[in-house]
């Protein structure tokens, strides 16, 4: 067991960012990875021109990489925003405009999962009203994901880096997952279990795995402190991934860490090359 038994993919929104977007799939392939994921790449618009979507698809195809995970539009990320779907007014409208655009692009590249970041609390807006809006939009997103045979991911962040984001514990994230599934009857909403964010929140990671592995649709990792590669911090990531396997999780593990002060291509020395291709 251990790292060698996992299906890893590389998040191209945090790794290889020293390169233009369209060069990143080839760089990931050169590093030995065949599966990648992305935050929504066009932070200024939920509805990019078809030529931009086509160019990204071509870059993925030419590199021989598969986009297995994609965020819906989430505002300025990286940056102060943490999603759009619970924000009243223009940002919620932008999220809705993005739903079918993101789902159709995901379908065109064989994407398995669409991640919907919840959004920050807004001063002066009732939290219950934000939660009601979020559920409405998540139902739309779940139906779009179901249309293309994908899962919908609900992610928890951490309250140190995202103090206005309401989902900062595994129970809070899973509660939203359950509400969405109850509302749609589709059962395709799942938990995005990010070991870095959960560790930043001080949660018992082994207990979270035991409790929520069955509701987990995707896993992301980075070490803590520092959000670097495995081995740069103190998290027992290899053991935790073993615990996930033992708990029945057999999905993908996204590498969502910072490369540090070195090129991204040099940030994978913890993982032998023969264990990098996704199966």
For every residue of 193-206, DSSP letters joined together read: EEHHHHHHTT--HH
pLDDT in tens, the chain (279 residues): 568 789 999 999 999 999 999 999 999 999 999 999 999 999 999 999 999 999 999 999 999 999 999 999 999 988 999 999 999 999 999 999 999 999 999 999 999 999 999 999 999 999 999 999 999 999 999 999 999 999 999 999 999 999 999 999 999 999 999 999 999 999 999 999 999 999 999 999 999 999 999 999 999 999 999 999 999 999 999 999 999 999 999 999 999 999 999 999 999 999 988 888 876
Closest Cα to residue 40, out of 88, 137, 89, 111?
111
| Residue 83 phi, psi dihedral angles, 5° rounding | 115, 170
Q: What number of helices (H) and strands (E) belong to the chain?
A: 8, 8
What pLDDT shows up at residue 279? 63
- Residue 118, beta-bridge partner list: 83
Distance CA 70, CA 105 (A): 9
Q: Show Cβ contacts of residue 108 under 8 Å, excluding neighbours closer than 6 positions.
A: 53, 57
Q: By C-alpha distance, which of 86, 114, 88 is closest to 100? A: 114
Q: 0.75 cut: is pTM over it? A: yes
In angstroms, the CA 22 to CA 24 distance is 6
Report pLDDT for 274. Answer: 84
- The two tokens of residue 35 are 């599966």
C-alpha torsion angle, residues 241, 225, 230, 161 (rounded to 10): 70
Q: What is the pLDDT of residue 3?
A: 84
Cα–Cα distance measured from residue 274 to residue 123, given in angstroms and rounded to the nearest whole number: 49
What structural domains does the chain harbor? 3-275 (3.20.20.150)
* 141-161: pLDDT as tens digits: 999 999 999 999 999 999 999
C-alpha separations of 232 from 17, 54, 218, 228 in Å: 20, 37, 23, 6
What is the structure's pLDDT at 2?
A: 67
Q: How far is CA 62 from the centre of its chain?
A: 23
Q: Each residue of 101-140: pLDDT tens digit? A: 999 999 999 999 999 999 999 999 999 999 999 999 999 9
* Cα–Cα distance, 80 to 36 (Å, whole number): 24
| Active centre residues (catalytic) | 155, 256
User: How, if at all, do strands 66-71 and 216-221 pair?
Assistant: unpaired
């Amino acid at each position: 067991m251990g790292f060698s038994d996992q299906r890893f993919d590389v998040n191209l929104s945090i790794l290889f960012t020293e390169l233009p977007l369209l060069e990143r799939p080839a760089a990931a392939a050169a590093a030995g990875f065949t599966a990648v994921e992305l935050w929504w790449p066009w932070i200024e618009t939920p509805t990019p021109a078809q030529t931009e979507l086509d160019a990204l698809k071509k870059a993925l195809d030419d590199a021989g990489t598969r986009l297995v995970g994609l965020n819906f539009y989430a505002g300025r990320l990286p940056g102060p925003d943490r999603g759009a779907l619970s924000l009243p007014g223009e940002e919620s409208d932008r999220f809705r405009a993005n739903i079918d655009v993101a789902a159709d692009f995901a379908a065109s590249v064989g994407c398995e999962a669409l991640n919907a970041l919840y959004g920050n609390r807004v001063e002066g807006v009732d939290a219950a009203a934000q939660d009601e809006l979020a559920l409405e939009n998540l139902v739309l997103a779940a139906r779009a994901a179901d249309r293309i045979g994908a899962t919908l991911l609900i992610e928890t962040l951490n309250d140190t880096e995202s103090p206005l984001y309401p989902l900062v514990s595994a129970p809070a994230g899973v509660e939203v997952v359950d509400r969405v599934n109850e509302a749609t009857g589709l059962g395709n909403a799942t938990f995005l279990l990010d070991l870095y964010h959960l560790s930043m929140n001080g949660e018992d990671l082994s207990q979270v795995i035991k409790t929520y592995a069955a509701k987990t649709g995707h896993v992301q990792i980075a070490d803590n402190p520092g959000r670097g590669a495995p081995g740069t911090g103190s998290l027992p990531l290899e053991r935790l991934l073993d615990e996930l396997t033992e708990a029945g999780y057999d999905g993908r593990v996204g590498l969502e860490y910072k490369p540090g002060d070195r090129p991204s291509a040099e940030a994978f020395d913890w993982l032998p090359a023969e264990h990098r291709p996704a199966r």
